[in-house]
Amino acid sequence: MKKGNKVTLKLGILICDHVNKLLQGEFESYPKMFDDLFSSVEDNLDVKYYFVIDDQFPKNINECDAYMTSGSQFGANDDLPWIKKLIEFIQTLYHADKPFIGICFGHQLIAKALGGKVEKSTKSWGVGVHTSKIISQKNWMNKDFQEFNLIVSHQDQISQLPTGAEVLASSEFCPYSMIQVGNHFIGLQGHPEFTLKYSESLMEVRKDRISSAVISKGQKSFLQPLHSKDVMQWLFDFLNYRKSL
């Protein structure tokens, strides 16, 4: 199917969590967040959502041209059946040369699935807006950027890269904030789909786990400009480039 002169990209989003019940009235769901972001970035898109957290997986990897994950309150090392199944699915995608983008939890699962390691950060929680410096500029990135700002919300992060992984960007908090493995896997620790309002609300409901000092620092970081749409456009350009091969 084509829209204009571009072939429509069929993208499968692997949903790895549900919005906290206390926040569903205002923020609804993660698919809604992705829809809002996608509508402002890419119009040649056919999106299908799979709630892998509820054991809803694609029956065949060729149902979509590419896949992407949401984040999750769960950890890559958690001993849960759906996470084990998702790791196996990611391994299948990798060996089949199927394009995949891991967001936050999915970023960490790339490492876990391909032989790297994921551990809790010694710096506690990463919340608010973090700046990542671009280490390796790719042709699908905007060359005017030397760094980018994204909302983050994580305690786990990649501590050891899988074999063959290339670091594309690094932050002070997270040394491997964006990686590429092969020519078809991208991992991104930040959340382009999150809004500042959602980030602040998420910190509020997690204040029993996140110190007041960390939350205060995260809230102050909201003064920085966000590059969510820019980074998501890069990811779509990466996927469209892969689809054209």
CA–CA separation, 205 and 179 (whole Å): 30
Contact 15, 47 (CB under 8 A): no
Amino acid letter at 194? F
Amino acid letter at 52? V
Q: Exactly one of 107, 174, 193, 227 is catalytic; name it.
A: 193
| 63 is a catalytic site residue | no
| 191 is a catalytic site residue | yes
Q: Exactly one of 104, 107, 154, 184 is catalytic; name it.
A: 104
Contact 34, 13 (CB under 8 A): yes
Q: Which residues of 56-95 are buried (b: 16+ CB within 10 A; e: fewer)?
A: ebbeeeeebbbbbbbbbeebbeeeeebbeebbebbeebbe
Residues taking part in catalysis: 104, 191, 193
